[in-house]
Amino acid sequence: MNRILKSIAVLLAAVVLLGVIAAALLPRVIDPNQYRDEITRLVYDQSGLKVSINGPIGWSIFPWVGLSLEDVSVAGANSSQLAQLGSAGVSVKLIPLISKRIEMQTLELKGLELTLVKNTKGKGNWQVSAPKPTEQQTPRGQEPSPTPESEPVSSPVRLDIASVNVSGLLISYDDQVSGQKYTIDQASLTTGAIRNQQPFDFQLKARITIPDLVVNSLISGKMTFNLEAGHYDIQNLKVSATPDEEKGESLSIVGNVQYQQTPMLVKGNLGVAEFNLANLLNQIKVQLPPMADPKALNRLSIDSHFSTNGESLTADKLQLQLDSFTLDGNLKMNSIDRGDMQFNFTGNDLNLDNYLPPATDNAEAPDQEQPAQSGSEKPSSGKEYPLIPEAMLRGLNVDGSMKLASLTVAKFIFEQPSVAIKAAKGRQEVNIGSRFYQGTIDMTSNLDVRRSGKPKMAASADLKNISLEALSTAIPDLASLQGDVNAGMKVHTQGQYASVLTRNLNGNIEFKIDKGVFTDANFDKMVCEGIAKVRKKELRTTDWGSSTEFTDLSGSFVIKNGVATNDNLIAALAYMNLKGDGYVNLVDRQLDYHMGLNIRGEEVPDSDPACQINKEYVNVTWPVRCHGDLGALKCGIDVRRLTETITEIAENRLKKKIEDKVQGPVKDLLKGFFK
C-alpha cells in the first residue's frame, strides 16, 4: 500500500513538474507576436475598429497569466486616428481563476490618447460598425442546430487587484458642429488594493481645457463595493476644480455617496466648501454685472442630504450660506427633466439690494447706449443695467415658501416676511406677508417673461398702520410727512431698466393718513402772512413752529406713464381744512401740488391782529402751492389762485365784474373785507 501511495505521489509530482516546465517553456516556444494579424482581425470583426499593434507582445502562463502590449494604435471612421496606447500590462493569477476569483497584480496603463472628432454632419469618428458576417446556409437534410438553453446563473466574480495605475491619459474632443474643442490631459488614476467589500483609496487627477478656460481637477475618496448586491459606497469623497492660474479659486465638493444598482438609488450627503464665488466666476471668464456691495458673492457654501433615483430628487436637508445670509430647509424635484421644484426654507436677513446694480450717476454715464427694448423706450442713463434675468426665470417651474428674519428690496425693509412663490411657463407669482415699518403689508406681485426683452409686472398691496416717519428712511421724499398710513395699491408696468419701468408705470393708489404732521411747513403761518400782506400789516407772532398737524388726510392717485395725479386730497387740520390737487412726476422727480386752506372760525390761530378776518369770510379757501424737485420742494402762497379767490369775493360783495387779474391797489377792491 505504501508503495502504491508513493508511486501516486511521484506521479503527481511529475505532473506538477511537467506543468511548471510547460508553463515556463511555452512562452518561449510560442511567440504571441505571430498572432498580430489574428488579433487585429478579431477586433475588427467584433467592433469595426482597426487596431495596429506596433510594439512587442509579451505573455506568461504560470503562476500568473500575463499580457503586455506596447505601441498600439486604433483607427476610427474614415481611418482617422482614434486612440494611441503607449503600453499596457496585466497579470492574473492562474489557479484562483478556477474558482472565479480574479487576483491581479498591478494593472498598468500608460500613454493612452483618445482623439474624438464629431464632423460637421454630426457623426463621431468613434461611430463605426462591425462588418456583417457572411450568412451561412444550413446544408440540405440537416436540421438547424437547436438554440442552447440558458446556462444557470453562476456565482459572482470576486476581484482581488493589487492596484491600478493609469498615467499619461489624454482625451481630446473636437466638435466641428459648434466649433468648440475640449481637452483632458495630464490625467492619472491610482488606487489601493481592490477587493470585494473592502475599502480602498482612489485618486483621479486631470487638467481640463475648455474654450478660454483651463481647470485642474481632482477626485479622491475611499470606495467599498459589493458586486453581488450591486452596492457601491464612497466615503470621504472630495471633488475639486481650480482654474489653472495664480491664486486660482478652488471649488470643492465633499461628502459621502451610496449607489444601489437595482433599482437605481443614489443617496448621501454632499457639501460645497466655502469659496469666493465672485472670484471664481471672474477667473472662469463669467462677467458679473456691477453690484452695490463690492463684497457681494464673496462667500458661498452648501450642505445637503439627498436621495435620487435618476428621475426625481429629494433633499431633506439643504443649507446655504451666501455672504452673511443663511438659508435652511428642504427641496424636492418630482421630475428632474422638467425641473419641477417644491421647497420650504427659513433664513435670516437677506438684502437683495447688495446684489443689484449700484446707484447710477448720469454725469458719469458712458457715451454708449443700452440697446432699446422691443416696444419700449431706451433707458434714460447709459449706466443702467437690465434688472430681470429673463432666461433664468423663463425656465422656472417652482412652488415653494420661505420665511426670513428680514428682507430688503429697493431699500424697503420687510420684517419677518413670509414669501410664497409659484412659477411656471414664464410666469411668476410672489405673495408676501410681512411687518412693514411698524405696520403690516400684504402684497402680491406677478411677473410675465414669456416675451423676450419685454417683461411685464403687476403688483397689488394692502398696507395697514404704516409709519411715515419710519418709512422715510427708505423714501427720503416722505421726510416732510408723519403719521400712520392705510393704503391700497394696484399698479403695473413693463420693461427691463429702472427708468423704463418708471415711465411705463400705471395704476392707482388710495390712502388715508391718521394723526399726521407736515413737518416742513406751517400752513397757519402761510395763510396769516398772506392776509397780513394784503392788509399791509406786520405779524406780531414770532413762534409759529415749523410744522402743521392734521387729524386726517386721505385721497387717491391715478398713475399714468409714471405721472401720479390727484384731485381729491382732503385733510383736517387743527384750525382749518385742507384740499389738494396736483401731480407727482416720478420720471423727472418733479412735483407741482396745490393745496387750499379753509379757515374754520372768525380768526386764524393765535389771534394775530394782522390776519384777523370778518365772520362772513370764514371758510374761504386760501391757496398754497408746493413745487420743485422731490426732496427740495418750495412751498408758499399760490398768488394766482389767491388773486382768483379775492376776485371772486369782490364780485360777490361789490356785485360787479372785475378783470381776471387784479390791477391796482387790492385794498380798494376789498374795502371792508378786513376789520
pLDDT at 48 over 90: no
The 3-state DSSP class for residue 379 equals coil
Q: What is the pLDDT of residue 655?
A: 47
DSSP states of 475-544 as a string? -GGGTTEEEEEEEEEEEEEE-SSHHHHHHT-EEEEEEEEEEEEESS--HHHHHHHHHHHHHT--------
Mean pLDDT of the chain: 80
Q: What is the pLDDT of residue 604?
A: 44
Strands (E) located in 546-660? 548-560, 563-573, 576-585, 590-599, 621-629, 634-637
Q: What is the pLDDT of residue 370?
A: 41
Mean pLDDT along residues 9-33: 49
pLDDT at 233 over 60: yes
pLDDT band at 390 (very low <50, low <70, confident <90, very high): confident
Report how far residue 163's alpha carbon sits from residue 654's, in angstroms, rounded to the nearest whole number. Answer: 117
Q: What is the pLDDT of residue 398?
A: 93
Q: Residues 290-346: pLDDT tens digits?
A: 899 999 999 999 999 999 999 999 999 999 999 999 999 999 999 888 888 999 999
Burial class (CB in 10 A: 0-12, 13-18, 19+), 466: buried
H or E stretch covering 334: none
Residue with cell 395704476: 507
Q: Residues 432-464: pLDDT tens digits?
A: 999 999 999 999 999 999 988 889 999 999 999
Are 224 and 201 within 8 A, CB to CB? no
Q: What is the pLDDT of residue 452?
A: 85
Q: What is the pLDDT of residue 626?
A: 84
Report how far residue 575's alpha carbon sits from residue 133's, in angstroms, rounded to the nearest whole number. Answer: 109
One-letter amino acid of 367: D
pLDDT band at 25 (very low <50, low <70, confident <90, very high): very low
Q: Residues 156-175: pLDDT tens digits?
A: 567 788 889 999 999 999 99
Q: What is the pLDDT of residue 463?
A: 93
Mean pLDDT along residues 88-96: 71
Are 257 and 225 within 8 A, CB to CB? no
Residues in the chain: 675
H or E stretch covering 84: strand 81-93
C-alpha 289, offset from chain centre: 13
pLDDT at 418 over 80: yes
**How much of the chain, in percent, has pLDDT values that exceed 70?**
75
Reference 183, options 191, 195, 175; nearest CA is 175
Report how far residue 199's alpha carbon sits from residue 203's, in angstroms, rounded to the nearest whole number. Answer: 13
Peptide bond into 63 cis (omega under 30): yes
The 3-state DSSP class for residue 607 equals helix
**How much of the chain, in percent, has pLDDT values that exceed 90?**
37
Q: Residues 601-624: pLDDT tens digits?
A: 444 445 567 666 665 555 567 777
Mean pLDDT along residues 21-48: 68
Are 428 and 412 within 8 A, CB to CB? no
**What predicted TM-score, i.e. pTM, was given to this entire model?**
0.66
Q: Which of the two residues, 13 and 577, has the higher pLDDT score?
A: 577
Q: Residues 625-665: pLDDT tens digits?
A: 888 887 777 877 777 776 776 666 666 655 444 444 444 44
Are 545 and 528 within 8 A, CB to CB? no
Q: What is the pLDDT of residue 666?
A: 46
Residue with cell 405673495: 431
The 3-state DSSP class for residue 101 equals strand
